[in-house]
Amino acid sequence: MATAAPSAERTPPKRRRWRGSRRIAVGVALLVLAFLLALRQLGLLFPDAIVWPTMLAAAGVALIWRQWGGRSRPAAPPTTVPPADVAGQEQRAAVRNLYRGGFGVALIVGAGLLFLYANGALSGLGDVALTALVAIAALGLILAPFWWRLANTLAAERAERIRSQERAEVAAHLHDSVLQTLALVQQRASDPKTVATLARRQERELRDWLRGRPPTAERESFAAALDAVAEAVEEAHGVRIDVVAVGDHALDERAEALVAATREALTNAAKFAGEAGPVSVYAEASPQRVQVFVRDRGPGFRLDGVPADRRGVRESIVGRMARHGGSATVHTAPGQGTEVELVLEDGRGE
């Protein structure tokens, strides 16, 4: 990971430098143009045949000088970069410099040709120009495979570097997570409950990682926040909680209230029905409506038999949902488990 970050940060300045040299070239050209036009305004007559080629040449010169200036800079802070990376960077920088320099040279040569042409010096040189053109084309054909191979080699090198960085990252991750857990599992082999909890936690963590969900997601996504809550309750009570979520919703204030109510329902289920099997959470979310079902396979209870001072369901679930314009319903009967249904519809209470 330490190897990936710097190279990612280093790319933009490079690009900026390239864009910078283009800007400088154009700037210099415009300055020269302005200077020449000003002189012409003052009465020193320059014909167009001088003004435009001079401008082009100025841009070319600026490009070439800029490139030489750029090459003398230190390439990058080398401390954290593996050697292969430095080599690749330098090679690519060299190609880029070549392109830049070539463009500058082309500009200057073009300027010269334009000047000669405008002064009529080229009229007798048609054949020579043709010869030169053919020679250049032939040279291009000869060099093309070389360029092609160079480009391919660079791409392959880059892919290989990315692969090795990813391998390092995967290894680091597995080391921090799975291997640690396996070590813990071996230590606690005599305590099945702890081992089960450790394994479940590691499984969740690994699945999240495989799914590529960023660690910050649980602060933005309803589904991710739901997963996080289920994980917390599972860990606190040692009960398995299966979460199935369909769709997603932004984690605004009301969705947060829904997540908090779900947490309460899960805690109840884990406390009173945790022995009877896993607790199921099903969430269906769309921009208009979010619905959560928390179901346990416990003994169930009679709703009217709940004492009035049991604040868990009344306050933390029903009351909380009502305050945010939603609703909570408890379906239960002795012997049939309990299901808490939480619904939040948009457009109400807003």
Partner 1 sequence: MNPSVVIVDDHELFRAGVRSELAEHVEVVGDATGVDTAVPAILAAEPDVVLLDVHMPGGGGVEVIRQVAKVRPEQRFLALSVSDAPDDVIAVIRAGARGYVTKSISSAELADAVRRVADGDAVFSPRLAGFVLDAFAGSLPATQVDPELDQLTAREREVLQHIARGYMYKEIALRLGISAKTVEAHVSAVLRKLQLSNRHELSRWAVQRRLVD
* b/e burial code for range 312-339 (CB count within 10 A of at least 16 → b): ebeebbbebbeebebebebebeeeebbb
CA-based nearest residue to 75, from 85, 89, 88: 89
What is the token pair recorded at 287?
Answer: 């921009």
The answer to whether 247 contacts partner 1 (rule: CB under 8 A) is yes
Question: Minimum distance between the CB of residue 244 and partner 1, rounded to whole angstroms?
Answer: 4
- Is 327 within 8 Å of 321 (Cβ atoms)? yes
Residue from 280, 316, 332, 338 binding partner 1 (CB under 8 A): 280
Stretch that binds partner 1, among 54-62, 116-124, 292-300, 342-350 (CB under 8 A): 292-300
Burial of 342 from C-beta contacts in 10 A (0-12 / 13-18 / 19+): buried
Burial of 268 from C-beta contacts in 10 A (0-12 / 13-18 / 19+): buried
Q: Give the torsion sign (CA, 217, 218, 219, 221).
A: positive
Residue from 12, 74, 124, 212 binding partner 1 (CB under 8 A): 212
Question: Minimum distance between the CB of residue 338 and partner 1, rounded to whole angstroms?
Answer: 12
CA-based nearest residue to 313, from 254, 249, 252, 267: 267
The answer to whether 179 contacts partner 1 (rule: CB under 8 A) is no
Residue 39 is inside which H or E element, if any?
helix 4-41
Stretch that binds partner 1, among 16-24, 102-110, 187-195, 203-211 (CB under 8 A): 203-211
Residue from 149, 163, 207, 311 binding partner 1 (CB under 8 A): 207
Stretch that binds partner 1, among 4-12, 151-159, 163-171, 244-252 (CB under 8 A): 244-252
Is the CB of 160 or the CB of 220 nearer to partner 1?
220
Residue from 205, 252, 284, 346 binding partner 1 (CB under 8 A): 284
The answer to whether 244 contacts partner 1 (rule: CB under 8 A) is yes
Pairing of strands 279-285, 241-246: parallel
Stretch that binds partner 1, among 3-11, 37-45, 55-63, 247-255 (CB under 8 A): 247-255
Alpha-carbon distance of 172 to 235, in angstroms, equals: 25
Is the CB of 117 or the CB of 282 nearer to partner 1?
282
Q: Which residues bind partner 1 (CB under 8 A)?
A: 207, 210-213, 217, 220-221, 224, 242, 244-248, 250, 278, 280, 282, 284, 286, 293, 295, 297, 339
